[in-house]
């Protein structure tokens, strides 16, 4: 049976795992294959819990998952050999692999597939006089939390556009930011789209406020992607979110199934096959899983991290491999 393991229980048991001294990872033939998710009830938690359960049901692998604080910690746990797979965010990979920022040492990590996109594009009231991101100078803008990835991306892009220092920046939780926007205390906040669809908090906001998405200029998007390949070009689709009237360019952080380098090709293949051969069953679980689709999985993998060879084999068999991706050796 698939089970959820408390992070402290796993870390406490870490000394018993056959890692480290011999330089050989624990035998993946032993059950369970361990997944790291995110905080209880979060989007990442729901996604990884579902993936773990699907693999357990539709393959010969036995799986177990543990709640964590999210993508950055999962990368650390992969680097420590504590988990096999984990929920990770694309914009953390460059720093993790280089051992900079919040990562003290370089981490060897692979990816197996992309499973969702968290897009954040500038959003204003429908009757606002702000027409483009270049109009944000002098406005009250919040990218949500002070330590979040949206802040780093938005500051990078507005600096490129030459308006960063003119903006009145504000910070807070998603709830606080949306409440302030509703009250008229903020002029521009991020529209949070999960797999292209509005998050529950955004839907709640839209029930009382008419909003409009701005998008970002292409040159600013290209600059952000070149600076950090984990910041991916994306488009808000009016068929999925009524805040835009046409396909609107923006950026997204991609949810990737981070994979320990010692995960065998066979295990990587079986995990990927179980998920995408049963993609319809996965998508039925929750709206957070709407992007579980093999073409999405390959399209949004990032170039700067190798792909588990077993996962790559599966996508090649489906005829949807990207030749610009690197297969782990």
Residue 255's pLDDT is 93
Q: What is the pLDDT of residues 156-165, one digit of tens each?
A: 999 999 999 9
- Prediction pTM value: 0.75
Express each pLDDT in 6-33 by its tens digit: 444 444 433 333 323 223 333 444 558 9
> How many Å separate Cα 270 from the centre of its chain?
22
Summarised one tens digit per residue, pLDDT across range 54-97 is 999 999 999 999 988 888 899 999 999 999 999 998 988 998 99
Residues 13 and 56 both lie in one domain: yes
| 3 in Cβ contact with 9 (< 8 Å) | no
- Which of the residue ranges 143-147, 194-198, 242-246 has the most confident prediction, judged by mean pLDDT? 242-246
Residue 209 lies in a domain: yes
Q: Is residue 165 part of a domain?
A: yes
pLDDT in tens, 317-326: 999 999 999 9
Tokens of 162: 């030459």
Q: What is the 3-state secondary structure (H, E, C) of 10-45?
A: HHHCHHHCCCHHHCCCCCCCCCCEEEECCCCCCHHH
More confidently predicted of 242 and 6: 242
Instruction: Catalogue the E-assigned strands of 94-227.
Output: 110-125, 140-141, 168-169, 189-194, 197-198, 211-213
Q: What per-residue confidence (pLDDT) applies to 102?
A: 80
pLDDT band at 45 (very low <50, low <70, confident <90, very high): confident
4 has a pLDDT exceeding 80: no
Q: Domain of 231? A: 118-253
| pLDDT band for position 191 (cuts 50, 70, 90) | very high
| pLDDT of res. 311 | 98
Query: Do 129 and 150 have their domain in common?
Result: yes
Give residue 62's region: left, alpha or beta (phi > 0; psi -120 to 50). beta
Q: Are residues 30 and 136 in the same domain?
A: no
Output the pLDDT for position 176: 92
Q: Are residues 168 and 70 in the same domain?
A: no
Reduced to 3 states, what is the DSSP secondary structure of residue 92?
helix
Does the pLDDT at position 259 exceed 70? yes
Give the Cβ contact number of residue 42 at 10 Å. 16
Q: Which of 203, 231, 253 is the last residue of a domain?
A: 253
Report whether 308 contacts 257 (CB < 8 A): no
**Cβ atoms of residues 72 and 256 within 8 Å:** no
Say how far apart CA 178 and CA 205 lie, in whole Å. Answer: 7
Which of 253, 278, 303 is the C-terminal boundary of a domain? Answer: 253
Same domain flag for 240 and 294: no
Q: What average pLDDT does the segment 309-316 reach?
A: 98
Query: Which of 308, 204, 212 lies closest to 256, judged by CA?
Result: 308
- Whether 42 shows a pLDDT value over 80: the answer reads no
b/e burial code for range 126-140 (CB count within 10 A of at least 16 → b): eeeebeebebbbebb
**pLDDT tens column, 260-278:** 999 999 999 999 999 999 9
The pLDDT score that the predictor gives to residue 19 is: 29
Buried b (16+ CB within 10 A) or exposed e, 102-112: ebeeebebbbb
The CB density around residue 306, as the number of other CB atoms within 10 Å, is: 19
The answer to whether position 216 is within a domain reads yes
């Amino acid at each position: 049976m698939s089970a959820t393991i408390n992070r402290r229980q796993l870390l406490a048991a870490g000394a018993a795992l056959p890692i480290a001294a011999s330089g050989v990872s624990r035998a993946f033939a032993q059950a369970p294959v361990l997944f790291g998710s995110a905080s209880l009830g979060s989007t990442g938690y729901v996604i990884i819990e579902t993936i773990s359960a699907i693999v357990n049901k539709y393959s010969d692998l036995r799986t177990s998952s543990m709640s964590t604080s999210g993508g950055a910690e999962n990368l650390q746990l992969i680097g420590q050999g504590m988990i096999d797979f984990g929920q990770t965010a694309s914009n953390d990979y460059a720093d993790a692999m280089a051992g900079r920022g919040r990562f003290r040492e370089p981490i060897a990590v692979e990816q197996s597939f992309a499973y969702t996109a968290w897009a954040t594009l500038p959003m204003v009231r429908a009757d606002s006089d702000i027409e483009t991101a270049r109009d944000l100078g002098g406005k009250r803008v919040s990218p949500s939390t002070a330590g979040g990835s949206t802040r780093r991306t938005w500051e990078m892009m507005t600096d490129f556009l030459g308006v960063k220092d003119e903006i009145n920046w504000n910070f807070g939780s998603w709830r606080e930011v949306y409440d302030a926007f509703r009250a008229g205390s903020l002029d521009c906040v991020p529209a949070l789209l999960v797999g292209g669809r509005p998050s529950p908090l955004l839907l709640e906001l839209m029930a009382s406020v008419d909003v409009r998405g701005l998008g970002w200029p292409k040159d600013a998007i290209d600059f952000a992607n070149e600076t950090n390949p984990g910041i991916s070009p994306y488009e808000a689709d009016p068929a999925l979110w009524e805040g835009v009237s046409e396909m609107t360019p923006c950026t997204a952080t991609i949810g990737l199934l981070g994979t320990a380098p010692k995960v065998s090709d066979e295990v990587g293949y079986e995990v990927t096959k179980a998920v995408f051969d049963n993609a319809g069953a996965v998508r039925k679980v929750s709206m957070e899983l709407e992007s579980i689709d093999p073409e999405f999985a390959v399209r949004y993998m990032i170039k700067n991290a190798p792909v588990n060879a077993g996962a790559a084999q599966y996508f090649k068999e489906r005829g949807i491999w990207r030749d610009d991706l690197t297969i782990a050796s």
